[in-house]
Structure 1
């Protein structure tokens, strides 16, 4: 098939201090902006949610989900940097889907960290 979407080309959003926020993402998550960000091939999920969802805070329109490797190590590193990490293993983790943790960036944007199950 031709003329189809093959992946996410970028994520763009407004920020009060774009330079500081870009530096935070680079330092704590290894995500670089306005340059190549090498990624591993893998599944991505595109899922509009009902406007009344309680899956993330109601005062936010979106949540960024980042696919990660070594979730436990990343949680430890983020916690040591003073970043609050929320986990709910009994509610969020599923052997068929993977494991999850959540953080917010300095501008209160929601970030879900997802470690897919090992294949």
Structure 2
């Protein structure tokens, strides 16, 4: 007997409806308590980080990593909506993927992984 995967991600929000709409509009995620997201894209990484890690904002307890297709097009779409997206060459790893980062309306760090 073992855990088969992550069954959900639940987090508090000052304005759950507005935040869910932001995820729907900009990332295509149907977010909300009635939403079920079926995914078959590949493995999920589950990794604790040191408390003093600078990999993501120190004021946030976690970072959301989302697998995406066509990272370049998604970044252009986000930037067109005036959402700041950060890319660094050192984040990209041959054979592992390409990455970009942004923050949701309440400051949660999001990493996009292609």
- Same-fold call, TM > 0.5? yes
Work out whether 1:110 is the aligned partner of 2:109: yes
Q: Report the CA distance between 1:65 and its aligned residue.
A: 0.3
Quick one: distance in 1 between partners of 2:51 and 2:109?
A: 16
Q: Report how far residue 107 of structure 1 moved.
A: 0.3
Q: Give ranges in structure 1 of 5+ residues lacking alignment.
A: none
Q: Is the Cα contact below 8 Å between 2:64 and 2:110 reproduced in 1?
A: yes
Q: What do you get for the CA RMSD once the two structures are aligned?
A: 1.0
**When the two structures are superposed, what TM-score results if normalisation uses the length of structure 1?**
0.90
Question: Cα distance, 1:56 vs. partner?
Answer: 0.7
Q: Which runs of 5+ in 2 are unaligned?
A: none
Instruction: List aligned pairs for 1:74-89, cutoff 5 A.
Output: 74-89=74-89
Distance across 2 between alignment mates of 1:80 and 1:99 = 20
- Once the two structures are TM-superposed, the CA of residue 38 in structure 1 deviates from its matched residue by 3.1
Residue of 12, 15, 21 corresponding to 1:14: 12
Aligned residues: 112
Q: How do residues 1-119 of structure 1 correspond to structure 2 at under 5 angstroms?
A: 3-33=1-31, 34=33, 35-89=35-89, 91-115=90-114
Cα distance in structure 2, aligned partners of 1:25 and 1:100 = 18
The Cα shift of 1:5 comes to: 1.2
Deviation at 1:39, TM superposition (A): 2.0
Give the alignment's TM-score, normalised by structure 2: 0.94
In 1: Cα distance, 2:85 partner to 2:41 partner: 26
